[in-house]
Chains A and B, each alone.
Chain A
């Protein structure tokens, strides 16, 4: 089954404690991206990756890091989480055909609470 898998689905942590949200896709997609969803703000892009070892900032990258060492994985790293990073996070992937837009497939989301 084609899917984007995120872990953990739910996490409560404390300010400053480093955490990683993993994302894996099994569709051999070149493009992967992280979004956060907040009430009244919709979906905002954090980082994206066009392919292995190629990453770039989205609209709200502050406080986050990413890496793309393998095509299937795109972890989101919060080095020192703060309460304003409490949010619902979505990983997404897409086939990238160099100029044409592909459909984005989303994971089920990771709800993060930073106390």
Chain B
């Protein structure tokens, strides 16, 4: 049972336009969400996070939106740059469970075309 779903395996966007990566989750106990970015031959790196008490968090060109009623979050990248081409993983955690176990989605490969 996949608790964190990224239904789009890949996404292509023109440079300068907006990239929107989506993520859905099923576990209502999740209360903290993160996005990680991964380049080939490197480990994932943290990008941005959001707590369930918020519905938006912004960091430069990156904004994460959380819709708790729909159990949906999205990552917006504006404007998209070729260096943003990578695999993006959505992850969720329920720290109230007394442990720290991130559940990851399968990833979305973003290609930004110059």
Contacts and interface: CB of A to CB of B under 8 A. Distances in A.
Interface stretch (A14-22, A71-79, A96-104): A96-104
Contacts of A101: 32, 34, 49, 93, 95, 100, 102
A42 B99 contact: no
A108 B98 CA distance: 28
Interface of A: 4, 31, 33, 35, 40-45, 48, 50, 56, 58-59, 90, 92, 94, 96, 99-109
A102 B99 CA distance: 12
B106 interface: yes
Q: How large is the interface on B (under 10, 10 to 19, 20 to 34, 35 or more residues)?
A: 20 to 34
Contacts of B42: 108-109
B46 A42 contact: no
B89 A42 contact: yes
A99 B103 CA distance: 16
Contacts of A109: 41-43
Nearest to A57: B101
B43 A4 contact: yes
Nearest to A91: B43
Contacts of A50: 99-100
